[in-house]
Each structure stands twice: as C-alpha cells, then as structure tokens.
Amino acid sequence: MKRIFICLLLSCYTCMSVAVELPDLGDSSANYLSAQDEAALGRQIMMEIRADPAYFNDPETVDFVNHVAGKLLAVSEDAIGMRFEVFVLQDSTLNAFAMPGGYIGVHTGLILAAENESELASVLAHEISHVTQHHVAREMEAQSQNMPLTLAAMAAALLAARTSPDATVGGIVGAQAGAIQAQLNSSRGYEKEADRLGIQRLIRSGYDPRAMWTFFEKLQHYDSFYEAVPAFLKTHPLTTERLAEIQNRLENVPYRQVQDSPNFQLVRSRIKALVGSPTEAIRSFSGEELNPKYPQDQAEIYGYAVALWRNHQFQDAKQKLDSVRLYAKPNAMFLSLNAQITNDQGKLEQALELYRQALNQYPEDRALNYGLINTLLGLHRYQEALDFIRKRLQYNDHDAKLYDLEAQGFSALNQQLLSHQALAYYYERMDNYSAALDQLQIALKTGDGDFYQKSSVEAQIDTLKNTLAADKASRKK
C-alpha cells in the first residue's frame, strides 16, 4: 500500500494535509485502470458518498433522473454491457460529474437550474459519454505518473467531507468530483468528445439537442449574476471555441419541439420543498399567487404541499394537494404524498388502502411500495410486510431499501438471524462489503435459525470473502 500526503484545495478554500491509504496500483508499467479496477474504485467512493448527509436519497427524485438517463442509455450502443447509476447530492452549486464504475452524480442545484428536461438530459448525456469512453482510465494512462495523486485527491476529499463539520458537506463532496475531473477535463479533446457523443444521444433519444448549447451558455453567464463560477464549469472548462463547435454540430439538425414529462417540474418543486429547513421551504412557495387551474402553477402547488407536510401541517398540505388534484392529470407523486399525509395523521388503515389503490395504477413506483411496507410495519402486520417485500424482491433484488425494510420486519418477529442476513444484503447493495460480512458473522452468533438458514449465511460469507479478496488483488495489480 502507498501512503501519500497531499494538500487539497476544498470548496471551502481551506487547505489540509491528509494521509490516505491507497491501493498499490503497481509501478509505471501499470498505465491504466482495468474495468475491474474502475468498478472497485467506484464502489469504494460510493460507499463513502452514501454515508454522507449530502446524499439525497429521495426515491421520486432519484428515479426521475435515472429515468432520463435510461432513455439516453437505451439508444447508446457504446453503453451495452456497462452498469450505470445516477445519484443526487443535496448541494446548491451547479455541478454534475462522472466517476469510475458508471456512477454519475448530479447536484440538486443543477436540476433546479435546468429550465426544461432536455437541458437536464444534455448534462447526463455528456457525463454518460465520459463513462462510455473511459476518459478516467485514458487520462490516467496518459499521465501515469500522476495517477496515485489523482486517487489520493479523491480519497482525501471524501475523508475531509466526513471530518470537517464546519464545511459545506455537499460542496466538499463536489470537490471530490473536481479532484478526479480536474485531471480528466484537462484534455479539451475529452470534453469535445463528450459533447459530440452527448448530442448524438440526445437526438436518438428524442430530446432537444439544442438544449446542450443553451444550458452550457447559460452556465457560462452565471458568473455575471453570482459571485462564483458554477462548479460544473470548473470541472468541465467551457471555451468560446467549444460552444461554437457545439453550435456548428447543431446547425443542420432539424428543429423539433420537445415537451417535458409532467414529472420534470414536479421533481424540481419537490427538491425545492425538501432542501433547507421546513419553514424556509414554506416561505419559498407561500409568497406566490398560485392557481391550480393553470398547468404552470400545478407543480408549484404540489411543492408547497410537500413543504407543508414536512412542517407537519398535514391538514394544510392535504388541502393544497387536493386543490391541484382537481385539475392536474393523475400522477403517482400525488397519490404517494396523499397516502403519506394520511399515514402521518395516524390514519394507518386508511393510508394502507390508499397505497393499495395507488399501486394498482403504478405497481412499480418505489415510493408507493416503500410507503405500503412502512404502513404495514406501523400496523404491526410484520408477516404481511415480509410477504410483500419477498414478492418485490423477485422483480428487483438490487433494491437496498427493500432489504433494510425486510430486516426491520424480521427483527420485529424476533427472527434475528434472518434480520442480520437481510442487513447484510442491504450493505452489499450499498457496496459496503465489509459491513455486510460483519452482519453475516453476527447472524451466525444469534442462536436462532434452522440448518438451511445457517448454511445459506455460511455460503454468503464465502461469496463475500471471495469478492473482497478479488477486489484486493485487483487493487494490487
């Protein structure tokens, strides 16, 4: 292992020296990261990010940005066989970044700054291109002597985010993105390549490709209105030449009007309602004259209802939500909030029926599924909750939250071995294999569980040990 001391300039402008344990990637003959190395490094970084308060794990928001990315990936032949995950960080700065292993981070500030869905898609299309073209590994190959320093900067920023309570946590995590992309984006060629491929993805997926030019130009002019240049431009240097090249590529593309999906504006209002304190969120909506008859106001009224719900003003929240539901088209986000308000009013049986009705219309909606399970747990109907979870896992066994809820159900029934095994699956899906292994070892010591359950845990322990050994061997190449 190499022990490297570096000085990293963080977003809060404090410089610190951090000792970081890094995997030994070998001498200068190891000029690139293998796919396995990229995946292992990405998992390690994501384990830290998911533990950070800036990690914005709101299912409606996360599902929407992944839906947009999914439309882009569906027409991307160069992404076949690659794993992608888009996550959101609660941070008011305008930034997005790609990391090894197909992880793409987006700040809430950037989502709020996008005026239409195509602008958000243009950023995701650009970041997807950084991943598909392996720009991280290519830059490390080109600058092999600096590769350990790049990895150290990434690790140091993450460590600082967990040890600097006075700093803006999200901003520091954003600095982690800068640590990797400062190297990546030093090459104008990589940025132009990501622009070119991103435009192709936008065209093929049905988004407006001109949104890339309009959004990037908007970012370039932000420093005229705000004190700081947007973080996105610091990690993705935007020159006049690059903007002109984007415009030239769009010159012969026929104009087409692209309508946003209803959830784009709803998600923007939801973010606005969920960031900051509840009272601040309410103030951001309450000063506006909103009419539920007007489509342009319906998303804002929904956001206002979310802010009121956060502040435990359940009756007011229900009134606002009901007003918009009279005129707006049906939407899973309306039904989820309605059931959640009912649950929080203590009307659990009524909330359960609302969740069941909503799931008949939107069976795959994660927020509705989680809400129903939580309501069943609140009603002490633990076995019913576990049966429902088991059915959901048959469709998606990668959903970490389902395993967390399953662990709660097993614990309530005093089935401790199964509870700890479910927690192990949860940590495994969160890329924290060491924590998963700890839970499995605890499971064997609980004293309950039959022969087959114990055998299952032992087999899982062997699998995790092999995975951890493989990751360790990969880092030592």
Q: Give yes or no: residues 221 and 315 share one domain.
A: no
- Statement to judge: residues 183 and 314 lie in one domain: no
pLDDT of residue 297: 94
Question: Are 225 and 125 found together in one domain?
Answer: yes
Distance from C-alpha of 126 to C-alpha of 112, rounded to nearest angstrom: 18
Taking CA 127 as the corner, what is the angle to CA 104 and CA 204, rounded to the nearest 5 degrees?
A: 120
End position of a domain, from candidates 200, 232, 250 = 250
- Give the chain's largest Cα–Cα span: 70
- Domain with residue 342: its CATH number is 1.25.40.10
What local confidence, expressed as pLDDT, does residue 279 receive? 94
Of the CA atoms within 13 Å of residue 475, those in its CB half-sphere come to 19
Are residue 119 and residue 166 in the same domain, yes or no? yes
* CA-based nearest residue to 175, from 19, 264, 45, 68: 45
In a domain, 271, yes or no: no
For residue 234, the model assigns a pLDDT of 63
DSSP-H helix ranges across 74-146: 108-113, 117-132, 135-142
Same domain, 44 and 165: yes
In a domain, 162, yes or no: yes
In a domain, 35, yes or no: yes
Residue 98 and residue 78: Cα distance in Å, rounded?
16
Rg of the chain (C-alpha set): 24
Burial of 73 (0-12, 13-18, 19+ CB in 10 A): buried
Task: Please state, in angstroms and rounded to a whole number, the distance separating the CA atoms of residues 254 and 96.
Answer: 28
As a residue count, the chain comes to 477
Structure letter (DSSP) for residue 265: H
Asked whether residue 63 falls in the same domain as residue 17, the answer is: yes
pLDDT of 143? 59
Same domain for 409 and 333: yes
CA angle 10, 12, 13 (to 5 degrees): 65
For residue 461, give the amino acid letter: I
Please indicate, yes or no, if residue 102 is contained in any of the structural domains. yes
* Residue (of 100, 97, 125, 96) closest to 111 by Cα position: 96
Q: Which residue has the tokens 């982690």?
A: 176
Domain range enclosing 378: 277-475
250, 285, 314: which is the final residue of a domain? Answer: 250
- Of 23, 39, 46, 11, which is closest to residue 160 (Cα–Cα)? 11
pLDDT tens for the 477 residues of the chain, in order? 332 222 222 222 222 223 333 333 333 323 467 777 888 888 888 988 998 899 999 999 999 999 999 999 999 998 999 999 999 999 998 889 888 889 999 999 999 999 999 999 999 999 999 999 887 767 666 655 544 445 545 544 544 443 443 443 444 445 445 545 555 445 677 888 999 999 999 999 999 999 999 998 888 776 544 445 566 666 666 667 788 888 889 988 888 889 999 999 999 999 999 999 999 999 999 767 889 999 889 999 999 999 999 999 999 999 999 999 999 999 999 999 999 999 999 999 999 999 999 999 999 999 999 999 999 999 999 999 999 999 999 999 999 999 999 999 999 999 999 999 999 999 999 989 999 999 999 999 999 999 999 999 999 999 999 988 877 776 665
Last residue of a domain, one of 250, 268, 289: 250
CA atoms within 13 A on the CB side of 410: 21
Give the other-Cβ count within 10 Å of 363's Cβ: 11
* Residue 270 maps to a domain: no
What is the reported pLDDT for 182?
52
Same structural domain for residues 175 and 73? yes
pLDDT of residue 159: 43
Residue 383 maps to a domain: yes
Residue 455 lies in a domain: yes
Query: Does 450 map to a domain?
Result: yes
Q: Are 88 and 56 in contact (CB under 8 A)?
A: yes
Together in a domain, 186 and 306: no
- Which amino acid, one-letter code, is at 164? S
The verdict on 192 and 59 lying in the same domain is: yes
Q: Do 302 and 163 reside in the same domain of the chain?
A: no
Domain count, the chain: 2
Residues 244 and 392 grouped into a single domain: no
Q: Report pLDDT for 207.
A: 97
